Amino acid sequence: AQSVAQPEDQVNVAEGNPLTVKCTYSVSGNPYLFWYVQYPNRGLQFLLKYITGDNLVKGSYGFEAEFNKSQTSFHLKKPSALVSDSALYFCAVRDVEYGNKLVFGAGTILRVKS
Amino acid sequence: DGGITQSPKYLFRKEGQNVTLSCEQNLNHDAMYWYRQDPGQGLRLIYYSQIVNDFQKGDIAEGYSVSREKKESFPLTVTSAQKNPTAFYLCASSMGQGAYYEQYFGPGTRLTVT
């Protein structure tokens, strides 16, 4: 079965500094990877996805993610963090063996301090 | 939260009562999903539907039921058989069931059963 792991429950970063939220995956076949963000008591918002092609994927709100096949990672990055980026971030992978459902990681809380 | 609406935002019920959560989308998407979110556990798939009048069980379907009589609507019923129904419920939709399609989420319904 496909799975993703987010090894950090929480990431703390100062405003203006670069941020990284980590995600590793385990799949059989080609990976279809996604990042979502959730603000308190809200639904999830799609940030970006990797399907094929360039290893650096650019998404919404200045976020980008780097796909690394050898390390089976798909880390979310932003060059300069904003306080408003503070939220819960989810990495997800499509399970192509089970109706293409999304399998989510447990989530990482990002706190950006001014 | 795009073109997906969920109502109500907060719902309170007594134990032993069935309750139906509404999900409507105006995105003309074929596929719709229901997830349950509990603290620290990410999202877990309850049911999904690829087309009208068809749906499949997800990972935690016991105690839940759905219907898909119209393309834009995918209501979820939480029955009295669900042992621990208190949670945040999220509805999502995607253009298709293909692995490359991202899912778009509604704002969620927080259900509390006492």
Spatial separation of the C-alpha atoms in residues B49 and B69, rounded to whole Å: 11
The DSSP secondary structure of chain A, one letter per residue, reads --EEE---SEEEEETTS-EEE--EEE-SSS--EEEEEE-TTS-EEEEEEE-SS-SEEE-GGG-EEEEETTTTEEEEEESS--GGG-EEEEEEEEETTTTTEEEE---EEEEEE-
Question: How distant is the Cα of B107 from the closest Cα of chain A, in angstroms?
Answer: 4
Q: Between B95 and B99, whose confidence is greater? A: B95
CB atoms within 10 A of CB A39: 12
Paired tokens of A59: 């998404």
Give the tens place of pLDDT for each residue, B5-32.
999 999 999 999 999 999 999 999 999 9
**Position A96, amino acid:** V
| B107 neighbourhood in chain A, CB within 8 Å | 42-43
Paired tokens of B75: 């209501």
pLDDT attached to residue A113: 97
**Residue among B1, B42, B97 minimizing CB distance to A43:** B1
pLDDT attached to residue B42: 84
DSSP single-letter state for residue B9:
S
Question: How confident is the prediction for chain B on average, in pLDDT?
Answer: 93
Spatial separation of the C-alpha atoms in residues B44 and A3, rounded to whole Å: 12
Coil, strand or helix at B17: coil
Coil, strand or helix at B24: strand
pLDDT attached to residue B37: 95
- Span A55-66, average pLDDT: 96
Give the tens place of pLDDT for each residue, A17-57.
999 999 999 988 889 999 999 998 888 999 999 998 899 99
Paired tokens of A38: 């959730």
Q: pLDDT at residue B97 above 80?
A: no
- pLDDT grade for B2, boundaries at 50, 70 and 90: low
pLDDT attached to residue A97: 77
Which A residues in the span 52-71 are in contact with B, Cβ-Cβ below 8 Å? none
| A51 neighbourhood in chain B, CB within 8 Å | 99-100
- pLDDT grade for A101, boundaries at 50, 70 and 90: confident
pLDDT attached to residue A105: 94
The sign one gets for the Cα dihedral A35, A13, A11, A113 is negative
pLDDT attached to residue B26: 96
Q: pLDDT at residue B1 above 70?
A: no
| B109 neighbourhood in chain A, CB within 8 Å | none
Q: Between B41 and A114, whose confidence is greater? A: A114
Spatial separation of the C-alpha atoms in residues A28 and A59, rounded to whole Å: 25
**Quick check: A43 and B4 CB within 8 A?**
yes
pLDDT attached to residue A71: 96
Burial grade of B32 (CB within 10 A; 0-12, 13-18, 19 or more) = buried
pLDDT attached to residue A29: 85
B113: nearest Cα among B8, B20, B43, B16: B16
Paired tokens of A78: 């932003």
- pLDDT grade for B41, boundaries at 50, 70 and 90: confident
Q: pLDDT at residue A72 above 60?
A: yes
Length of chain B measured in residues? 114
